[in-house]
Chains A and B, each alone.
Chain A
Amino acid sequence: MTDPVHYPDATQLAVPFFIAAILAEFLWIALKKRGGRYETRDAVTSLIMGAGSVAEGLLLGFVAWALFMFLWQLTPLDMGTSVWALLACFVLDDLRYYWVHRFGHRVRWVWASHVNHHSSQHYNLTTALRQTWTGTFTFMMIVKAPMVLLGFHPALVLFCGGLNLIYQFWIHTEAVTRLPRWFEAVMNTPSHHRAHHGRNPRYLDCNYAGVFIIWDKMFGTFVPEQDHDRPDYGLVHNIATFNPLRVAFHEWAGIFKDMSQPGLTLKQRLLYAFAPPGYSHDGSRDTSAGIKAAHLARHPEDAGTPGFGG
């Protein structure tokens, strides 16, 4: 029997909008001489990562779909497909996104998939499309399972996930400085997300929100962008390649290399895969906590300010 519930693939339908918006942002920057910068190879790498991510969805999307349909058969609940169901699903999915994103920065196995999104030293609309090719292998689709069990149809859950990603596209820009206070208070904005992409110690592990910034405020991870400490984009240890294959797989290669070192205990090997990024068995690397502590040792005046316990 075919399932009657069907929603369009919002992300694919948005491709023409993505291209038009990138051109508009580029023209804006060129005309105004402010609001960001573009670099050819960086932008092309980001766009290829975006195309690869769509391809990965087409090739491996069936894994998540099969899991969700299995759960859908189990649940006795059905929230239907009304506008209210869609709205509830969208908000719940955004909460789901917050936690998946937080895991993506705090668990190296998930970071290995997400790191490529942060690997550009630029911040423009092409950066938004620098998406993972390996999301399926993180098994983070499991975090959507409760939504299906609550009675939201898998097609609705995936549709809301697509809308969430589309919302996040436009916040990857320096062309928009600040929006009205009420909007900044509730919604994720370019300003909040610029902070998230900052490699400055202040901004490490903050602003995980997708659409609603309220989740960060609720769970204590909100750091407002500071005018005196502009976000410096990229990774703590920036990658030195525009090769999409290296961009997509470098952290996975790093995990494998670290786990296969001789002389480690089983616990140490597992920690290289699942501890926060920066873990090392001999203390030779820094996690975000260590980086913040080292910064405060150099700049004690920052203690108690946003991002440093303030």
Chain B
Amino acid sequence: MPLELLLALVLGGISGIAVLLHLTGCSRQVVLTAASARAAWLRHFPGDSVITVLPAASGRAALVQTEGGPGLLWAFGADTVGRHLAVGQVRETGTGLRFDFNDFAAPGLSLPLPERERRTWLAQIATAAEAA
């Protein structure tokens, strides 16, 4: 197959499929509740004992307290991803919290959180980290 034709097929195919999926609602992000976040966390970490789950009001993420320490679950397209949190991986920004996992497969997450919610999250992360 001529390279020009292959390129046109590949570029046209990817673009066309992307537009079709977007226009038919396939770009919607999952919205997390306490129950769905708990289930999703246990899906990622079936050996964990979840103590509490605090979803963000936006539904974009949830702070999960486990017996092993705090963890962050967040919306990843229609699905979720989760990471345990260690000391120094979270810092406050002007609009919310910034999480850096030192993981090439999980670049940092900037989570918008209103001031009051931010305070609650930071306090819970500190408490859970100390308890663990």
Contacts and interface: CB of A to CB of B under 8 A. Distances in A.
Interface of A: 9, 12-13, 15-16, 18-19, 22-23, 26, 30, 37-44, 47-48, 51, 54, 121-122, 126, 232, 234, 237-243, 246, 249-251, 253-254, 257, 294-295, 298
B79 A121 contact: yes
A19 B106 contact: no
Given A238-B44, A241-B107, A44 B81 contact: no
19 contacts: A38-B26, A39-B21, A40-B21, A40-B77, A42-B79, A43-B21, A44-B14, A44-B18, A47-B18, A51-B10, A238-B76, A238-B79, A238-B82, A239-B81, A240-B106, A241-B106, A242-B77, A249-B104, A294-B47
B8 to A, nearest CB: 10
B91 interface: no
Contact of A254 (B9, B22, B104): B104
Given A15-B9, A239-B81, 6 more contacts: A12-B1, A40-B26, A240-B83, A240-B105, A250-B104, A295-B46
B120 interface: no
B14 A47 contact: yes
Contacts of B83: 240
B14 A41 contact: no
Nearest to B12: A19
Contacts of A42: 77-79
Interface residues on B, range: 20 to 34
Nearest to A238: B81
A254 B17 CA distance: 32
A48 B104 contact: no
B51 interface: no
Q: Is the interface of A mostly helix, strand, loop or mixed?
A: helix
Contact of B106 (A121, A239, A249, A294): A239
B4 to A, nearest CB: 13
A48 B18 CA distance: 11
Interface string B43-64: 1101100000000000000000
Contact of B79 (A39, A251, A253): A39
B132 interface: no
B27 interface: yes
A254 B65 CA distance: 27
B81 A30 contact: no
Given A16-B9, A40-B22, A242-B77, A254 B14 contact: no
Interchain residue pairs A-B with the least CB separation, the first 7: A240-B106, A253-B104, A250-B105, A239-B105, A240-B81, A19-B13, A40-B21
Given A47-B13, A239-B106, A12 B27 contact: no
Contacts of B81: 238-240
A44 B104 contact: no
B6 interface: yes
A38 B46 CA distance: 25
A240 B10 contact: no
Given A239-B106, A240-B76, A51 B27 contact: no
A246 B104 contact: yes
A237 B80 CA distance: 11
A166 B80 CA distance: 31
A298 B104 contact: no
Given A15-B10, A254-B105, A47 B76 contact: no
A15 B6 contact: yes
B20 interface: yes
B78 A298 contact: no
Contacts of B44: 237-238
A153 to B, nearest CB: 21
B3 to A, nearest CB: 8
A40 B104 CA distance: 22
A22 B81 CA distance: 26
A26 B105 contact: no
A251 B6 CA distance: 29
A114 B131 CA distance: 39
A39 B78 contact: yes
B105 A246 contact: yes
A90 to B, nearest CB: 22
